[in-house]
Amino acid sequence: MTEPAPVFASGVDHERLTSQLRFILETDKLKRILRRNMLVDGSRRENDAEHSWHLALAARVFAEYAPAGTDIDRVVEMLVLHDIVEIDAGDTFIYDPGQADSQSERERAAADRIFALLPEDQARSTRALWEEFEARGTAEARFAKAIDRLAPMLANWHTEGGTWVRHGVTRSQVAEKVKIIAEGSEALGSYAVALIEDAERRGYLAVG
């Protein structure tokens, strides 16, 4: 479909707004990237845009479980941005070592292209937030990553094992991810431990 000729208000930087529009239209593609997890009701797979929105909401709801002094606005911004790279790189199943080995390279190439669509100042700031999330070097990044890791666990538990059952995921594999949750939030980490213990009792996790 041909885009309509832009009509800009006086005083607006046309080039800047055009770059911002280009980025927003490009990130609309996140809605079509399907993740492995099902919705909690089991009706279908979730997409990346739904996932990002739900994590941002969770960050607000679970804010009291973040370390003291954590900037929740920054956490929310990270979570809104964190999966944009999957427009190019696709969703990586964390229990597939073949995919995981190439994940960083694929996602960094995607970040180079997609964030560069923005005006230079916004490109720098959004890329920096994405890098901060990936590095987990701040309380905000660790809390954001904790929520990102907890969400699929909740989905799998509520769908009677979900991707855990379909792919023969073991308790030890899931327990490795719980360490990341605990790094970001002691309370959420403790909850995640209890969740996988219950999942094991219910037979949702393979032995190992």
Q: Give a yes or no: residue 34 inside a domain.
A: yes
Residue 207 has a pLDDT of 87
Q: Give a yes or no: residue 4 inside a domain.
A: no
* pTM, entire model: 0.92
Instruction: Give the model confidence (pLDDT) of 59-106 as tens digits.
Output: 999 999 999 999 999 999 999 999 999 999 999 888 887 777 788 899
Q: Give a yes or no: residue 7 inside a domain.
A: no
Q: Give a yes or no: residue 9 inside a domain.
A: no
SS3 of 3-46? CCCCCCCCCCCHHHHHHHHHHHHHHHHHHHCEEEEECCCCCCEE
Compute how many other C-beta atoms are within 10 angstroms of the C-beta atom of residue 141. Answer: 23
The whole-angstrom separation of Cα 169 and Cα 163 is: 8
Q: What is the DSSP letter of 119?
A: -
Helix, strand, coil content of the chain in percent (nearest 5): 70, 5, 25
Residue 120 has a pLDDT of 98
Residue 100 has a pLDDT of 73
Residue 135 has a pLDDT of 97
Contact 81, 58 (CB under 8 A): no
The ranges of the chain with pLDDT < 70 are: 1-8
Count of structural domains, the chain: 1
Amino acid in position 201: R
Q: Give a yes or no: residue 207 inside a domain.
A: no
Amino acid in position 151: A
Q: What is the CATH number of the domain that holds 179?
A: 1.10.3210.10
Q: Give a yes or no: residue 111 inside a domain.
A: yes
Question: Domain span at residue 116?
Answer: 15-201
Tokens 């719980």, located at residue: 178
Q: Give a yes or no: residue 10 inside a domain.
A: no
Q: Which are the contacts of 145, defined by CB distance < 8 A and separation ≥ 6?
A: 133, 136, 180, 183, 184
Tokens 């393979």, located at residue: 206
> Three-state SS for 195?
helix
Q: Give a yes or no: residue 22 inside a domain.
A: yes
